[in-house]
Structure formats: structure tokens, C-alpha cells
Amino acid sequence: MSTARPSLAAAPREVTGKKVAKLRQDGRLPAVVYGRDVESNSVSIDAREFEALRRQVGPNTLLDLKVAGRKAAPVLVHDVQLHRVTRRPLHVDLYVVRMTEELTVDVPLVADGESEAVAVHGGTLLHVTEHVRVRALPDKLPQSIHYSIESLATFDDAIHVSDLDVPADATLLTDPGEIVAKVLPPRVEIEEAPAVEEAAEAAAAAEGEAPEGGAPPAEAPEGGNSESGEES
């Protein structure tokens, strides 16, 4: 019986180390396949195919990996090494899963709706927690968890992990008391009173005027040195 899982083709790879740069130039992406009681294998995958697949599926999507036409194995993309500048993938870790064993993964949170505290009162929405950790069977892993921010009507309101709608076939491991989102009040800038500014300007003007009939400012004695630090 066929499955609806996306598939990914791979080829055995013998090139390692710095020589994989040539592999990338040819449009192939180095990868490693491993898992519990599974021997680690070096493979390569089509870089464009992998990029297209990443845009279509979630971070916890199971893939059917076929190496050199052999029987497909269910894998998760465990890690992707990215180029620091271009952010293109450089290397991929593919983890072979057992369909009867639960896995622990991080699931991204997605905020939906509109908050009155933001739209009406000018607050700033703060995403305190962006992921939660859950445990589930490989084919039951959530890709994301959505939550509504419409309950954030005032600056005192908050959404907690306990408020999330977690699928029944997944176990939440994150502390239920953690805050997911809240709204911060707008910053208020305090303007200085005009009377204080006028008084400060008047004081500055008075200091710059010489008193009537007063003695002229003293002059430095002839031959004096205005800089300190002269050697003795």
C-alpha cells in the first residue's frame, strides 16, 4: 500500500572532506543517513529537489528516502548546515525513524487573528515562546500549532502553553505555565515642560554676561604655559 509521504532520491557517496565542494558545483548536496541500529551511510541528493521539498513541507514531515532505487526508508530531516552568507544548504543529516517508536521534536507556534491591545491600544505583540516540545509517533508529529491572539484585549492578558490546542495523539513536554504571547504597552516619551526650558535658557544667558562695573577677567602671566604635564 502506497503512502502520501513525499519522496527523496539519493545516491551513494564516496567523496568526503574538502572534495565535496566539487559535488556541490555539480548540483549535488552531501548528506548522511543514520538512525538507531542503522549503519551511517554517506549519500548525495539533488540540491534543487531538496530546496523545493523544504519549501513544501514542514520541519517534522516524514520523507521516503530511496537510495539507489532500494526500498524506501522513512526519514526526518534532522539537521541542515547552511552557508553563512547565502543561507543555502551545505550538508544534510537524515534520521531513519522507527514507525512504532515515539520521537521528541520542537514544534513551531503560529499566531492567528488580531489583538485588540495591538490594533486599538497601540501595543506591541511579544512572542515569548516560539516553539514547544512534544512527543509523538513519527506519523503523528505536528508540523505547527496555531493559536489565536484575539484574547489579548488588554496589556494584562497573556496566552500560556496550557492554552494551546495540542493534538490528542501528541504529548506536550513544555511547561504549561510558560507564557506564549502577550502585548507590551506603547512607550510614552515625557516632554520637558516649557517653563523648565525657559528657566534653563535664562540661567545660561545670565552666566554669559559680565557683571556691570566688575573687574576684567584675569590674564595668564606672561610666559606662562597653558598645557599641563610639563616635565619638571
CATH code of the domain covering residue 12: 2.40.240.10
Do 62 and 126 fall within a single domain? no
Q: Is residue 195 part of a domain?
A: no
Pairing of strands 7-12, 38-46: antiparallel
Per-residue confidence in pLDDT tens, the chain, 232 aa: 445 789 999 999 998 888 899 999 999 999 999 999 889 999 999 999 999 999 899 889 999 999 988 899 999 999 999 999 999 999 999 999 999 999 999 999 999 999 999 999 999 999 999 999 999 999 999 999 999 999 999 999 999 999 999 999 999 999 999 999 999 999 876 665 565 566 666 666 666 554 554 444 444 444 444 343 444 3
Task: Choose one of 72, 96, 120: the last residue of a domain.
Answer: 96
Task: Choose one of 151, 166, 184: the last residue of a domain.
Answer: 184
Range of the domain at 109: 103-184
According to the model, what pLDDT value does residue 19 have? 87
Do 90 and 120 fall within a single domain? no
According to the model, what pLDDT value does residue 16 have? 87
Residue 117 grid cell: 491591545
- Cα distance between residue 162 and residue 178, in whole Å: 8
According to the model, what pLDDT value does residue 15 have? 87
Q: Is residue 2 part of a domain?
A: no
Q: What residue has cell string 534532522?
A: 78
According to the model, what pLDDT value does residue 18 have? 86
Do 13 and 84 fall within a single domain? yes
CB 9 within 8 A of CB 48: no
Do 121 and 66 fall within a single domain? no
Do 52 and 121 fall within a single domain? no
**According to DSSP H, which parts of 72-168 are helical?**
116-119
CB 27 within 8 A of CB 61: no
CB 140 within 8 A of CB 104: no
Do 138 and 88 fall within a single domain? no
According to the model, what pLDDT value does residue 181 have? 98
According to the model, what pLDDT value does residue 209 have? 55
Do 86 and 147 fall within a single domain? no
Q: In the chain, how many domains are there?
A: 2
Q: Is residue 194 part of a domain?
A: no
Do 69 and 147 fall within a single domain? no
Do 54 and 135 fall within a single domain? no
**According to DSSP H, which parts of 38-133 are helical?**
47-56, 116-119
Q: Is residue 114 part of a domain?
A: yes
Q: Is residue 42 part of a domain?
A: yes
